[in-house]
């Protein structure tokens, strides 16, 4: 057996039997037909490797010299928590990638569905049966929808019920538009009515819905631009100005702490001197903490702002996952350069 076969066998042990079918169906939505069990093995050993580096590089020097029992317990807890956290982080990134891929596939199907159904109607009007109309309307330019309908047609040709095959196809995707359209077609097939007329009405509704969505997206562009400018440009500059004010305060504290005339004063002046001396003593640490807070705050703001923009534009949070790297990268880069620009401009004050 080759290496990948061994990795695949080990990876199956990480996935319980009851989770394998849901996992296969979930990956099928993303266009992955075979479950890559070997990826679970690689992810596990990668987590062990990262934990090993973190343990001997950062954690072990901190516990040298303590009792053997404390070393054993802290090491056990560290490895369990660290491996679990790293695996969870890997799973989060994989889930984000697959969610975006499923979302894009679903939207592509929704966009191509009216054109495909129009060809189905043409085939029906020419005298073809519904099953053959589905198969005859498949075109390469329909992309994901063509592959899905191909699977439906193969199920029908192997003896499965047409309505059941269409229902399973619609239920695989979280798309209300796709489900409603397919359900209308299925109900008309089961009632024995004129399917072509129903499909034509479905096509009209799909095109009207698409047009309304585009108009709504165009009407909220100004809100998206407003949020983007505030988050990616104004917020970093304001945090940079706050950093300058903080540096001015620390410089003022240094001057007061170094003033010999105040050190011997009594009353309020003595309390002020003590407070300023303590502030000046921990100035470097406070500066580092403020910068860390700024990066974390801006990262959090840009993260949720990307999702807000996604909801405004697309009406779905999943679509905002692709905006998160852009928002966070631009926001943090603007803050990085704004701190240096503002510090250079107001450097004479501290």
Residue 204's nearest CA partner among 103, 117, 293 is 117
> What is the 3-state secondary structure of 133-173?
HHHHCCCHHHCHHHHHHHHHHHHHHCCCCHHHHHHHHHHCC
Q: Which two tokens stand for residue 329?
A: 């990268």
Q: Scanning the structure block, which residue is given the tokens 């269409």?
A: 166
3-class DSSP state of 62? helix
Residue 269: predicted pLDDT: 55
CB 227, CB 306: distance < 8 Å: no
Residue 211: predicted pLDDT: 83
CB 301, CB 235: distance < 8 Å: yes
Q: Which two tokens stand for residue 79?
A: 């490895």
Round to whole Å and give the CA distance between 328 and 324: 6
Q: Where are the domains of the chain?
A: 3-104, 108-214, 220-349
pLDDT category at 179 given cuts 50, 70, 90 is confident
Which pLDDT tens digit goes with each residue over 312-332? 777 677 766 778 888 999 999
More confident residue, 108 or 216: 108
More confident residue, 246 or 94: 94
Q: Is the pLDDT of residue 157 over 70?
A: yes
Round to whole Å and give the CA distance between 255 and 246: 14
More confident residue, 265 or 69: 69
CB 157, CB 129: distance < 8 Å: no
Round to whole Å and give the CA distance between 96 and 36: 17
Round to whole Å and give the CA distance between 104 and 14: 29
The total of other beta-carbon atoms located within 10 Å of residue 247's CB is 19
The domain 108-214 having CATH identifier 3.30.70: the answer here is: no
Q: Is 129 left (phi over 0), alpha (psi -120 to 50) or beta?
A: beta
CB 153, CB 137: distance < 8 Å: no
Cα angle value 169/172/193 (rounded, 5°) = 35
Q: Scanning the structure block, which residue is given the tokens 């003590």?
A: 274
Q: Is the pLDDT of residue 117 over 80?
A: yes
pTM above 0.85, yes or no: no
Which pLDDT tens digit goes with each residue over 44-102? 889 989 988 988 888 878 777 777 788 788 888 888 898 889 988 998 888 888 888 88
């Amino acid at each position: 057996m080759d290496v990948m076969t061994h990795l695949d066998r080990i990876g199956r042990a990480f996935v319980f039997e009851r989770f394998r079918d849901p996992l296969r169906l979930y990956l099928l939505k993303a266009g992955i037909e075979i479950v890559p069990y070997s990826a679970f093995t690689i992810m596990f050993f990668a987590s062990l490797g990262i934990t090993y580096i973190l343990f001997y590089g950062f954690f072990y020097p901190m516990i040298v010299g303590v009792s053997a029992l404390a070393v054993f317990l802290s090491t056990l807890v560290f490895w369990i928590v660290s491996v679990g956290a790293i695996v969870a982080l890997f799973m989060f990134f994989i889930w984000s990638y697959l969610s975006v891929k499923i979302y894009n596939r679903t939207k592509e199907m929704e966009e191509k569905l009216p054109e495909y159904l129009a060809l189905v109607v043409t085939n029906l009007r020419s005298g073809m049966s519904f099953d053959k109309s589905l198969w005859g309307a498949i075109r390469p330019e329909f992309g994901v929808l063509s592959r899905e309908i191909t699977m439906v047609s193969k199920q029908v040709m192997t003896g499965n019920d047409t309505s059941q095959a269409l229902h399973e196809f619609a239920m695989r995707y979280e798309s209300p538009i796709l489900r409603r359209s397919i359900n209308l077609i299925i109900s008309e097939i089961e009632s024995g009515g004129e399917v072509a007329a129903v499909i034509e009405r479905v096509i009209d509704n799909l095109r009207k819905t698409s047009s309304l969505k585009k108009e709504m997206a165009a009407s909220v562009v100004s809100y998206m631009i407003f949020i983007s400018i505030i988050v990616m440009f104004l917020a970093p500059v304001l945090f940079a100005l706050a950093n300058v004010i903080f540096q001015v305060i620390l410089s003022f504290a240094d001057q007061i702490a170094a003033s010999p005339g105040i050190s011997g004063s009594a009353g309020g002046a003595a309390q002020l001197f003590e407070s300023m001396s303590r502030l000046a003593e921990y100035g470097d640490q406070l500066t580092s903490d403020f910068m860390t807070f700024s990066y974390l705050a801006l990262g959090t703001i840009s993260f949720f702002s990307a999702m807000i923009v996604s909801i405004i534009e697309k009406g779905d949070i999943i679509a905002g996952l692709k905006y998160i790297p852009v928002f966070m990268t631009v926001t943090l880069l603007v803050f990085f350069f704004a701190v240096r620009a503002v510090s250079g401009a107001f450097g004479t004050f501290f």
